[in-house]
Structure 1
Amino acid sequence: MLSYREITPADDGAIAKIIRANLERFHLNIPGTVYFDPELDQLSAYYHAQPEKRVYFIALDERGKVVGGVGAAEFPGLSRCAELQKLYLDDDAKGKGYSRELMKLAEDWAREAGYQQLYLETHSNLKIALGLYEKLGFRRIERPEAVQHGTMDHFYLKQLS
């Protein structure tokens, strides 16, 4: 069983390592992905800089070890829309339903913050994630103009209201 809380500076190194390891495993350690985001090593500063528009939740195992996380932030490409960001888990935490729990945290935050839609961008290499997004009510859309990561090739939207 995991516990969840908002990110702190002490979490930055652990979550950056988890994110990079996942991207390397799926051959997405290339430009145009989160791998090269300038804020990746200081996610807590990035998300805390605008707490009314951004949040990042950390997942902790029973020993208090960081095993994953998910973010949500205002998405400028669509009206009243937040973006699901950086949903990653350590390999030991995968396959146990934790991604669903993290997505629910982000979705609940977005709804409470007044957003009516939740957007995400991902890549076809992440086949398990694609299936999860569709099971949870995300529908594939055309590529928006305001894409954050140019290498991504799948774009989804979910109505929150």
Structure 2
Amino acid sequence: MNNVLIRPVEATDNASLAKIIRSAFFDFGAPTKGTVFEDPTTDDLFGLFAGAGAVLWVAATPETLLGCCGIYPTKGLPEGYVEVVKFYLSATARGRGIGRLLLAKSLESAAALHYRGVYLESLPQFDTAVGMYERLGFKRLEHPLGCSGHTGCTIWMAKEL
């Protein structure tokens, strides 16, 4: 993790982050229909996270982008909740603790913005991440919250801050 910087997303990150996100679906054999893979906002993350109450953190070395994770005030969530979104790492970044750093920074941001809980959606193919969420106190839900539009996700979790 030497030389890894966690910083806010920049406009010049858009294409590289979209590639990292979409590559993860192929790497894990995850279905793409009804997921962030098809979501047009994946191609303009800088624009998506420019709004109030949203933050996207990027892990990078001086040479390359490694991944991202953020929080976004998805419509329809319970009062005081925000969604953990766009949490994906490049193949070279996985298993190095970088994901934990990005998620921790996102949860810190949620608390700093006075959210009282966080919600996320995932897929069984991302079982390593789901296990990390469970270890961090996220609880599985019976149904989705909010209106993310990602109808292909089958795991829904939430955590009080």
TM-score (norm 1): 0.92
Q: Which runs of 4+ in 1 moved over 4 A?
A: none
Matched residue SS, 1:105:
helix
Deviates more, 1:138-147 or 1:33-42: 138-147
Superimposed CA distance per residue, residues 15-52 of structure 1 (whole angstroms, 9 cap, x where no aligned partner): 1000000012223352200001111111101111x1x2
Superposition deviation, residue 146 in structure 1: 2.3
Superposition deviation, residue 70 in structure 1: 0.5
Superposition deviation, residue 64 in structure 1: 3.8
Distance across 1 between alignment mates of 2:146 and 2:44? 23
Matched residue SS, 1:92:
coil
Superimposed CA distance per residue, residues 69-114 of structure 1 (whole angstroms, 9 cap, x where no aligned partner): 0110113321100110011111111111111110011000000101
Matched residue SS, 1:125:
helix
Q: Which residue of 1 aligns with 2:140?
A: 140
Superposition deviation, residue 59 in structure 1: 0.4
Gaps of 5+ in 2: none
Q: Is the contact between residue 77 and residue 144 of structure 1 (CA under 8 Å) also seen in structure 2?
A: no
Q: Which residue of 2 aligns with 1:65?
A: 64
TM-score (norm 2): 0.92
Correspondence 1:86 to 2:86: yes
Superposition deviation, residue 68 in structure 1: 0.4
Percent of counterpart pairs with the same letter? Answer: 30
Q: Is the contact between residue 74 and residue 83 of structure 1 (CA under 8 Å) also seen in structure 2?
A: yes
Q: 2:9 aligns with which of 7, 22, 30?
A: 7
Gaps of 5+ in 1: none
Superposition deviation, residue 147 in structure 1: 4.4
Q: Is the contact between residue 28 and residue 35 of structure 1 (CA under 8 Å) also seen in structure 2?
A: no
**Which one-letter code corresponds to 1:65 in the other structure?**
T
The CA RMSD over aligned residues, in Å, is 1.3
**Which one-letter code corresponds to 1:37 in the other structure?**
D
Q: Is the contact between residue 9 and residue 44 of structure 1 (CA under 8 Å) also seen in structure 2?
A: yes
Distance across 1 between alignment mates of 2:116 and 2:79? 8
